[in-house]
């Protein structure tokens, strides 16, 4: 969600900025822009839509910009004001001397804008960001020092921001700062890179500095000065990034999403290595820092997450309650933070997030931490803001996920929940030994079973084509796979824009059944086990209303052939592990429908990979 880049050094800046923005495209955006420091003045170029439009806009200026070695860039995901050229960043003050890019939301921008307009500032855009440009420029007019002006201005700003700022009168100087929004500085030889996320800098350097909230860094080709909000000098901490640049290639797949779906067997293998050796050995989960006595006596767990991670959390609840007998509440972070929650030092709070930067989840985590709860974070980004808040950190190690629609990070979150639930069950002795062994052995077989599904994906592709012209889609399931129905529907919605909904099948007759007729596809996630027969009856009810019935099943029951128009078969698996197996065809189904409809699979409209605003 919005991405900023910046560079100051000795190399031509334009390609560095454009390439950096391209690496951030996965975050989701609808316009873009750059500001380049030229010998006479800073020049700004912007475009609506994809980065290719910005490249076109820049093409006639390539020669004059070729020697510039400092600049900032931005991809914008519209919050205040439509995705137009005027609203695209960078934004400038009245005279154009000061230029900024911003990621985040300024909550008090209306008051600030009124005040600044009264002082003669003329606003060109509808954005909250332009307020910051005018505010800093106004203060700069008085103090004549960019760093100081930034420090004074940010004290007046409420909300979230990562900012990268240049001024015509401050030669070779980039000023950056942040609060509740991600920002990383890459340290090179006689150069610094700035970005919202590591992919934009990793091919240039592995040495990085993460700013903490309210710190201000002043960068020139040779120096970095780090200060707190009051100007007190601080010592920067340089970290070595655990990333490889090759991770961002499609490796021959048409889309990142398809590649990431195919990576899932290896993702599970990587997670299990070192944690689960054989079905008879205990789970090793040293990442959990809660002492064993406390774990044994834990009487409440809360899990907070958003979107796909929330669905992983719902399955996490199911298995922790089943394996360990500990009550678990799951809540959408955006709801959790605006009510009086009962959390204290006796509650284990688990935050689940692919990006580790989701604003609502981060706020919820901070609230629970302030109330004394132990914070366990399950994330794919051990370098994220959430990871830094964690008392216990379980990195899910799925590798960077580029496609906006989460696939491998979801499967990695689920695998981590299985390990956690089994680990706690062993400590609590809450599960019979043979059941533990069966589940561990089942976990070890998952990668191979997913490979079997991927090897027969043509059947799913055929099914996707058959149903791709539908306007609506219903997914039904019961028990542990109800969240799978929600996640299957979410995937389809996100990338194909078909109105898909997941229901607990028992709820169909309490309302949604009114929607059913011969145009409505209903997909039943029919895994063998405790609710199989019940779900079969619910599917009969849908069939009796002429719905177009699809089964996703691991049963070879012949009566399914009469009930369903299309059957997708997956390998046998213990019911408690079936959410992982059931999800793979649903990811493929969403992918093939969207691909068949010609949608922008990896960057669906309106969506952002890292949702850094509340
Ligand atoms: C769906 C998707 C989103 C995210 C949600 C939370 O494919 O990716 O629903 O799951 O925005 O993001 P994280 O997991 O980064 O906290």
Integer Cα distance of 290 and 287 in angstroms: 9
- 3-state SS of 37-66 is ECCCCEEEEEEECCHHHHHHHHHHHHHHHC
Q: Any idea where the domains of the chain sit in the sequence?
A: 3-247, 249-444, 458-596
Ligand 1 atom nearest 306 alpha carbon: 6
Active-site choice (46, 113, 449, 609): 609
Query: What pLDDT was estimated at residue 610?
Result: 74
Ligand 1 center–CA 27 separation, angstroms? 11
The CATH architecture of the domain made up of 458-596 is 3-Layer(aba) Sandwich (3.40)
- Give the Å distance between the CA of 533 and the centre of ligand 1: 33
- Per CATH, 3-247 and 249-444 having the same topology is answered no
CB within 8 Å of 176: residues ≥ 6 apart: 6, 162, 163, 164, 165, 183, 185, 194, 211, 216, 217, 219
Q: Closest residue (by CA) to atom 11 of ligand 1? A: 307
CA atoms in the 13 A half-sphere facing the CB of 147:
19
Phi-psi region of 18 (alpha: psi -120 to 50; beta: other; left: phi over 0): alpha
pLDDT of residue 442: 97
In angstroms, rounded to a whole number, what is the distance separating the alpha carbons of residues 348 and 354? 20
Distance of alpha carbon 483 from alpha carbon 216, whole angstroms: 43
354 lines ligand 1 (CB under 6 A): yes
What are 502-520's pLDDT values in tens digits?
A: 999 999 999 999 999 999 9
Task: Dump the DSSP string for 376-415.
Answer: EEEES-TTSHHHHH-SEEEE-------SSS-SHHHHHHHH
Q: Yes or no: is domain 249-444 CATH 3.40.630.30?
A: no
- How many helices (DSSP H) and strands (DSSP E) are in the chain? 20, 25
Q: Taking Cα atoms as reference points, which of 91, 268, 87 lies closest to residue 164? A: 91
Q: What is the mean pLDDT of each run of 10 residues along the chain (614 residues)?
A: 93 96 87 96 95 96 94 92 94 96 92 96 94 97 96 94 96 93 94 94 94 95 95 94 70 93 95 94 95 90 97 98 96 92 87 94 94 95 91 92 95 98 96 96 97 96 97 98 98 98 96 95 97 96 97 95 97 97 98 97 85 73
For ligand 1, the distance from its centroid to the CA atom of residue 379, given in whole angstroms, is 11
* Eight-state DSSP code of residue 221: S
Report yes or no: 374 and 348 within 8 Å, Cβ to Cβ: yes
Respond yes or no: is residue 164 known to be catalytic.
no
* Ligand 1 atom 9, closest CA: 307
CA–CA separation, 118 vs 109, rounded Å? 14
In this predicted structure, what is the pLDDT of residue 248? 65
CATH class for the region spanning 3-247: alpha beta
- What span, in angstroms and rounded, lies between the C-alpha atoms of 315 and 478? 12
CB of 361 within 6 A of ligand 1: the answer is yes
Cβ(198) – ligand 1 distance below 6 Å: no
Would you say the CB of residue 302 lies under 6 angstroms from ligand 1?
no
Q: What is the pLDDT of residue 342?
A: 83
CA 264 to chain centre: 17
Quick check: is 2 catalytic?
yes
pLDDT at site 346 = 85
């Amino acid at each position: 969600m919005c991405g900023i880049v910046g560079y100051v050094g000795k190399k031509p800046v334009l390609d560095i900025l454009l390439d950096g923005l391209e690496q951030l495209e996965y975050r989701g955006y609808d316009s873009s822009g750059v500001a380049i420091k030229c010998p006479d003045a800073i020049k700004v170029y912007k475009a609506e839509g994809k980065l290719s439009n910005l490249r076109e806009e820049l093409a006639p200026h390539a020669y004059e910009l070729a020697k510039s070695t400092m600049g900032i860039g931005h991809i914008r995901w519209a919050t205040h004001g439509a995705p137009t050229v005027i609203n695209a960043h960078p934004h400038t003050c009245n005279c154009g001397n000061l230029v900024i890019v911003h990621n985040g939301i300024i909550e008090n921008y209306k008051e600030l804008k009124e005040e600044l307009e009264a002082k003669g500032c003329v606003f060109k855009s509808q954005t909250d960001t332009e307020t910051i440009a005018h505010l800093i420029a106004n203060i700069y007019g008085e103090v004549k020092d960019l760093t100081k002006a930034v420090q004074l201005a940010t004290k007046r700003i409420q909300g979230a921001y990562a900012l990268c700022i240049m001024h015509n009168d401050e030669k070779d100087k980039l000023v950056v700062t942040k609060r509740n929004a991600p920002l990383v500085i890459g340290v090179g030889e006689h150069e610094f890179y700035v970005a919202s996320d590591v992919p934009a800098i990793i091919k240039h350097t592995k040495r990085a500095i993460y700013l903490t909230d309210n710190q201000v860094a002043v960068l020139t080709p040779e120096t970095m000065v780090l200060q707190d909000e009051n100007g007190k000098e601080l010592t920067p901490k340089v970290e070595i990034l655990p990333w490889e640049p090759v991770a961002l290639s499609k490796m021959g797949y048409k889309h990142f999403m398809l590649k990431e779906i195919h990576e899932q067997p290896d993702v599970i293998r990587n997670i299990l290595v070192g944690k689960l050796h054989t079905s008879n050995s205990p789970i090793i989960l040293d990442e959990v820092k809660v002492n064993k006595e406390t774990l044994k006596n834990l009487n409440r767990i809360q899990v907070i997450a958003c979107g796909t991670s929330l669905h992983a959390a719902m399955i996490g609840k199911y298995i922790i309650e089943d394996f360990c007998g500990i009550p678990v509440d799951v809540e959408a972070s955006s709801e959790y933070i605006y009510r009086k929650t009962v959390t204290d030092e006796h509650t284990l709070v688990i935050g689940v997030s692919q990006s580790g930067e989701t604003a609502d989840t981060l706020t919820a985590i901070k609230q629970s931490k302030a109330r004394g709860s132990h914070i366990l974070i399950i994330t794919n980004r051990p370098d994220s803001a959430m990871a830094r808040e964690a008392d216990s950190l379980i990195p899910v190690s799925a590798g960077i996920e580029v496609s906006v629609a989460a696939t491998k990070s979801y499967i990695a979150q689920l695998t981590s929940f299985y390990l956690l639930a089994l680990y706690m069950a062993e400590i609590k002795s809450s599960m019979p030994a043979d059941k533990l062994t069966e589940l561990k052995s089942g976990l070890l077989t998952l990668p191979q079973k997913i490979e079997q599904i991927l090897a027969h994906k043509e059947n799913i592709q055929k099914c996707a084509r058959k149903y791709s012209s539908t306007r609506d889609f219903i997914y039904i399931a019961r028990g542990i796979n109800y969240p799978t129905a929600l996640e299957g529907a979410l995937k389809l919605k996100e990338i194909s824009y078909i109105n898909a909904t997941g229901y607990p099948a028992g709820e169909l007759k309490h309302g949604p059944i009114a929607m059913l007729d011969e145009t409505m596809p209903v997909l039943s996630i029919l895994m063998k086990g405790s609710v199989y027969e019940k779900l079969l009856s619910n599917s009969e009810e849908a069939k009796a209303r002429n719905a177009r019935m699809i089964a996703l099943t691991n049963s070879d029951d012949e009566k399914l052939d009469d009930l369903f128009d299309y059957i997708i078969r997956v390998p046998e698996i213990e019911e408690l592990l079936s959410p992982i197996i059931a999800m793979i065809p649903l990811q493929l189904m969403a992918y093939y429908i969207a691909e068949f409809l010609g949608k922008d699979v990896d960057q669906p409209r309106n969506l952002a990979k890292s949702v850094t605003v509340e």
